[in-house]
Each structure stands twice: as C-alpha cells, then as structure tokens.
Amino acid sequence: MPLSPVNGAFPVSSTAVDPSQTIGANQDASAVNGLDATPTVGASSFGNVIDGLQSLQGQSQALAVKAVTGGVDDVHTATIAATRAQVTLELVSAVRNKGVDAFNEIMRMQA
C-alpha cells in the first residue's frame, strides 16, 4: 500500500512561530526560554556536568514553584525546564552506568 503525503492537513500561519523562540544554526538551544545551564560533555570533567545538572534541576524546581503559585505567565516554560532536567538526569545516569560497566570489564580482564 503506497503512502501519499498529506498536504494542507495542518495549516501553519506565519504568526504561529515567535522568531525569538526559534533555534538558529549558531544559537545554543539552552538560550531559548531563559534556560542557560545545559551541561556539556567535552573537555569538562564529570563534576562540571553534575554541577550543570544540579543547576538545571534548581531552575526546574524554581519554575515549578512559580507555576504553582501563579508567578509564571507561560506554564510551558516550567514544563520544558522539568523535561530538560529529567532527560539530562537520564543521560548523565546512562553515561555513569556505561563508565562503571567499562571499569568493571577492565577489572575482569586483569584478574
């Protein structure tokens, strides 16, 4: 059964997207919605990544409190911050687990 594209099913207006909220090729994704603590893995140490994760979780908690008390006009910002903190925690946990697994495998090779 061949698939055919559906054109016009979801109309897009030119005012639906706020240009200040789009991410350009040279713009960091963490700059959108005022969230500026994206941990990066590269030349930094794992401790710096954990510090960035704690910062993301702190921002998420602060925005959640503001959302509950009515201090945030856009609840989406709090939701995005919470999701970003959760995904980052899962990523850091997965990297840690792979590191521990690699260490254990090296130790088994030496024994």
Task: Kindly report which listed range (2-6, 64-68, 92-96, 97-101) carries the lowest average pLDDT score.
Answer: 2-6
One-letter amino acid of 74: D
Confidence (pLDDT) at 44: 66
- The stretch 9-26 carries a mean pLDDT of 40
Whether the predicted pLDDT of 66 surpasses 50: yes
Within 10 angstroms of residue 46's Cβ, the number of other Cβ atoms is 13
Whether the predicted pLDDT of 96 surpasses 60: yes
Distance in angstroms (rounded) separating the CA atoms of residues 74 and 92: 28
One-letter amino acid of 40: T
Domain that holds residue 96: 28-110
CB 32 within 8 A of CB 81: no
Domain total in the chain: 1
- The stretch 48-57 carries a mean pLDDT of 93
Confidence (pLDDT) at 73: 86
- What is the maximum alpha-carbon separation in the chain? 65
Confidence (pLDDT) at 21: 42
Residue 79 resides in a domain: yes
Residue 94 resides in a domain: yes
